[in-house]
Amino acid sequence: MTSPCDIQKRREIVFHPTPPGQVERALALLSGLPGLAASPTGPRTLLLEYCVAEYTLQDIETALSDQGFHLESTLLIRIRRSLAYYSERVQRENMVKPEHRTKNYQAHMEAWNKHPHGDHDETPAEWRQYK
């Protein structure tokens, strides 16, 4: 059973019917990438398994489009694709460690201690109290 925060992803890419033979060419191209497993699941679909720390679906599909592959662009597939892009981008951002604080606040604290602050009423204390 997989949990929703797994970094190991299984995504499906659907190619447009024309030109034919795109799945085989994409499989040959993607099989050379380390950490990426690709297998055909149908005449126009390709199943990818990868770690989101190394690859994202958006990067893979952009690279395939740059190589001349035509991806299916029906409404349902575009919605699924956008959701995967968003979730992987957010997951990668959450995996990054926060930056260390580099600013030295000691000088600011010393300046604040030297600065007069608080109640500085010149009225004597006995005049300010009711007896």
How do residues 96-105 score in pLDDT, each as one tens digit? 877 766 667 7
Percent of the chain whose pLDDT exceeds 90? 62
What are the tens digits of pLDDT across the range 44-79? 999 999 999 999 999 999 999 999 999 999 999 999
Average pLDDT over residues 9-30: 94
Q: Please classify residue 45 by burial: count the beta carbons closer than 10 Å to its beta carbon, then call 0-12 exposed, 13-18 middle and 19+ buried.
A: middle
Q: What is the CA radius of gyration of the chain?
A: 29
Element (H, E) at 76: helix 75-95
pLDDT at 45: 96
Averaged pLDDT for residues 20-29? 94
CATH, range 8-95: 3.30.70.100
CA distances from residue 47 to 11, 14, 98 in whole angstroms, order as listed: 6, 9, 33
Query: How many distinct helices (H) and strands (E) make up the chain?
Result: 5, 3
For residue 91, the tally of other CB atoms under 10 A from its CB is 17
Question: What is the average pLDDT score of the chain?
Answer: 87
Cα-Cα end-to-end distance for the chain: 76
DSSP state of 129: S
| pTM for the whole structure | 0.69
103: Cβ contacts below 8 Å, ≥ 6 apart: none
Say if residue 127's pLDDT is above 70: yes
